[in-house]
Structure 1
Amino acid sequence: MLTYPLLANSLVKKTNARSTAARVIAEVVHKKHALNAVLANALVELPENERSLCQQLCYGVIRWHCQLEVISQQLLNKPLRAKDSDIAALLLCGLYQLRSMRIPAHAALSETVNACKILGKPWATGLINASLRNYQRQQQEIDASLLADDTAHYAHPHWLIERYKHDWPEQWQAILTANNQQPPMMLRVNQQHGTRDNYLARLGSENINATAIEHCPNGVLLATPCDVHALPGFSAGDVSVQDGAAQLVASILDLKANLQILDACAAPGGKTGHILEHYPDNHVVALDIAPSRLQSIEQNMDRLTLNAKLIAADAAETTSWWDGKLFDRILIDAPCSGIGVIRRNPDIKLLRRPDDIATLAIQQQRLLDNLWPLLKQGGLLVYTTCSALKQENEQQIAHFLAQHPEAQECEPPNAPATRRSVGYQRLPGDDNLDGFYYACIQHR
């Protein structure tokens, strides 16, 4: 199990949802570790009845961190010391409860104050109590002040807001609003095991409310997210968790029988599984650069009872893994900024940096250039990202097409998103799906 400095030694013997959330948030904000990894490690130390609240606090505070931080600065006479980052995070937890949760204000305030003692810092009880009570008195004025600052109002870093304004001058506000929504839970029904209608009926028999996703033949939207083990047939591979935007990737690969297929950046294996659910006998090579991430692909394949050839390698270093056989289809679900899935991974706002985009664009170009020669003449290469930034998407593909005259963009029969100058872009929140980019290129 991964361990983190602030979370080692079973956190502390006495802990609860709020104190644990404060530690997790401090770890993400100050140590720049991924929220899902730190939180998973922390939740095992909590009683089961505390875990849901801890998770809500962690995701809520990180989602609204840019805004909550501005509010906290108005309430504190001076910044807290670095060694008290847990108390700073606890104040944000208190603010989030008062602003966004249905917990009675008196309970939110008293329990947050008590968490100071659990953190071993009883001196902070007066500070937290006074700050939260001041917020209650000044809320109207504070809320009005947020409107003057896009970073505070939309709870996004300034650089990212500016990138959205540049790329999407008409849509940037809608994108920011969509990013701050809690994400829905979507499923992909395994067509080898049954139809979507049949699975919807099974969900209904378990009193799980769900509807079909209009644009995804196998997609199901749950009215309320639930534990995967509560889903009928999950362990048997009847269904997988996957956003509808990601499900649309398989539809533009023009899948048929007897194909050689490369999934170049495959972990955690959702798209690999979907490809094989169409034609289980196709030969699929699934690569990922991290050996540890191959385990997630293997687990997915085992659950779905499907087979793929798994290789731990840098896909762009083709001499290290390629056997010389050309592929009919190549999927490059490229490493990207993740800017299109902020609603699912709100820590992207805090962890991503402006200069990351150019670095990622170089990696993406390297994958395109090095994998293109592995495609048969007449074959298809599909390039996708979960980004909404043009530098990673249509600009990337426009550059590739200009450098490769033998490459021709294809228009799939069913467009997966809004047509752009090159490829298709689904912005965050379009049809309630994640942000995603798709381009389909044929080797002439």
Structure 2
Amino acid sequence: MPQPSLPTESLAYALQRAAQALESVQKGTALPQALAQATTQCAPTVRAASQDLAYRAVRRLGSSRALLALLVKTALQARVRDILLCALALLQDDPEGAAYTEFTVVDQAVEAIAAQRRTAAAKGLANAVLRRFLRERQGLMAQIAKQPEARWNYPVWWIDTVREAYPDQWETLLAAGDSRGPMTLRVNTRRTSVAAMQASLTQAGMASEVIGPVALRLAHAVPVERLPGFADGWVSVQDAGAQLAAPLVLGEHPRAGMRVLDACAAPGGKTGHLLEMADVHVTALESDRTRVPRIYENLERLGLEADVRIGDAGNPSKWSGGGWDGVPFDRILADVPCSAAGIVRRHPDIRWLRREADIAALVEEQRRILLALWGTLAVGGELIYATCSVFPSENEQQAQWFERVCSDAVRLDAPGQLLMTPGGAHDGFYYARFQKR
């Protein structure tokens, strides 16, 4: 922990917390968990500042690493390295619109290093490194621009995969993933209307626009506690692309009492949307028992009920509650585990946590789940295959494989691949729909 003499509201303190989180991410911990560990017992303002710094550092990790390699030729302590990476991420911003002056960033980064006994000896080095970057910025940035990982801030294998899949769009897609996604709301029409919700937002000083049947995009993100009616279930936070799932599952005229399985359901966003739309019986299945409470919390807030089960979607006989009861489902939403490459603008750590070898393993897992769930679907029923990925091996190639191996599967119309764009309304998603004959 930092020395008590360092003011907790200072940029230096926030840099220390962000650097601790960044170190954990580089060791394989997801950024939200890393931040939670790094900011335990911190005030909300400190957590917010640390989060902003950490997310910025992760988004600029490729370029910051390349810069540090040019600026320092000796090995650095991990904490010194990560404070410098956080500072370099800040200094790469256009000075005109930067959150902090260049002097402040350098001064506070040096303070952050000097305030800890184990790193204090490196304060002179840190000062020299950051000041050299400011003096030679243009030349240094030109040098690292020749390195794909530094230019795009993605691992090389990720860049190559996207470029091969989308030869005419790959640069736009990578740039979109490096932007910040909008805050989009899903209105619960059992509790209010889109027009009434938008009026409530306007009254609260929050500008919004309608971008879907029940979707409102906020001009500026806000903490969910500030959203009018959030605690009472008027509205949920859900990306516009994710809001396509429930209507695709239920169709235009859902039958009351229809049996619907939401496989891989946590945190319950799509489960809630299904129940908001129609009086159907939803089984919400989740394999990770630590995430199941989130499903209950969301359902309680929305005033809705579902049959929540714990278990592997690929092994129906082992689901909690005695396993699958043998009664076929009319609809199945298979929102399967995937690379999450389509939501990288919201979760920038994904690009650094994923490994190329992970994709092949995920493809096999997706196939196992699909085949198992197909056996629980009624004849005439429909299965929707969904991912939040942009990698074809998890998406269209999977749909084509499924058509080949399941002779009783008829492919129906679905949105297919949705790609994110800079400033676009939705993340990257994929949807395929099959009927059992």
The Cα shift of 1:78 comes to 1.8
Aligned ranges 1:54-73 → 2 under 5 Å: 54-73=50-69
Amino acid corresponding to residue 362 of structure 2 in structure 1: L
Which position in structure 1 is the counterpart of 2:418? 426
**Equivalent pair of 1:11/1:45 in contact (CA under 8 Å):** no
| 1-structure distance, mates of 2:174, 2:224 | 29
Which position in structure 2 is the counterpart of 1:347? 349
Question: SS at the partner of 1:432?
Answer: coil
The Cα shift of 1:47 comes to 2.9
| 2-structure distance, mates of 1:35, 1:369 | 33
Percent of aligned positions with the same letter in both sequences? 38
Amino acid corresponding to residue 149 of structure 1 in structure 2: Q
| 2-structure distance, mates of 1:318, 1:93 | 46
Which position in structure 2 is the counterpart of 1:97? 90
| 2-structure distance, mates of 1:118, 1:198 | 52
| 2-structure distance, mates of 1:11, 1:125 | 15
TM-score between both structures, scaled by the size of structure 1: 0.92
The Cα shift of 1:51 comes to 2.5
Q: Which structure carries more relative contact order (alpha carbon 8 Å, separation 6+)?
A: 2
Which position in structure 2 is the counterpart of 1:26? 23
- Compared CA separation, residues 323 and 226, structure 1 to 2 (3 A): same
Instruction: Specify which of 141, 145, 148 is matched with residue 147 of structure 1.
Output: 145
Amino acid corresponding to residue 431 of structure 2 in structure 1: Y
- Write the deviation string for residues 38-76 of structure 1: whole angstroms up to 9, x where unpaired: 112333432333232211110010111011100111110
User: Is it true that 1:48 corresponds to 2:50 in the alignment?
Assistant: no
| 2-structure distance, mates of 1:196, 1:308 | 24
Question: SS at the partner of 2:92?
Answer: helix
The Cα shift of 1:12 comes to 6.1
**Equivalent pair of 1:11/1:42 in contact (CA under 8 Å):** no
Which position in structure 2 is the counterpart of 1:293? 291
| 2-structure distance, mates of 1:160, 1:96 | 21
Instruction: Specify which of 427, 434, 437 is matched with residue 430 of structure 2.
Output: 437
Which position in structure 2 is the counterpart of 1:259? 258
Instruction: Specify which of 158, 161, 177 is matched with residue 160 of structure 1.
Output: 158
Q: Which runs of 5+ in 1 are unaligned?
A: 1-9, 417-423
Which position in structure 2 is the counterpart of 1:410? 412
Amino acid corresponding to residue 135 of structure 1 in structure 2: F
More displaced 10-residue stretch of structure 1: 119-128 or 288-297 = 119-128
| 2-structure distance, mates of 1:11, 1:138 | 31
**Equivalent pair of 1:87/1:124 in contact (CA under 8 Å):** yes
Q: What is the RMSD of the two structures over their aligned residues, measured on CA atoms?
A: 1.4
The Cα shift of 1:11 comes to 6.6
Instruction: Specify which of 177, 189, 192 is matched with residue 191 of structure 1.
Output: 189
Instruction: Specify which of 238, 246, 267 is matched with residue 242 of structure 1.
Output: 238
**Equivalent pair of 2:56/2:90 in contact (CA under 8 Å):** no
The Cα shift of 1:212 comes to 1.0
The Cα shift of 1:326 comes to 0.4
Question: SS at the partner of 1:110?
Answer: helix
User: Is it true that 1:228 corresponds to 2:224 in the alignment?
Assistant: yes
Question: SS at the partner of 1:286?
Answer: strand
| 2-structure distance, mates of 1:233, 1:248 | 23
| 2-structure distance, mates of 1:363, 1:141 | 46
TM-score between both structures, scaled by the size of structure 2: 0.93
Question: SS at the partner of 1:350?
Answer: helix
Amino acid corresponding to residue 385 of structure 2 in structure 1: Y
Which position in structure 2 is the counterpart of 1:421? none
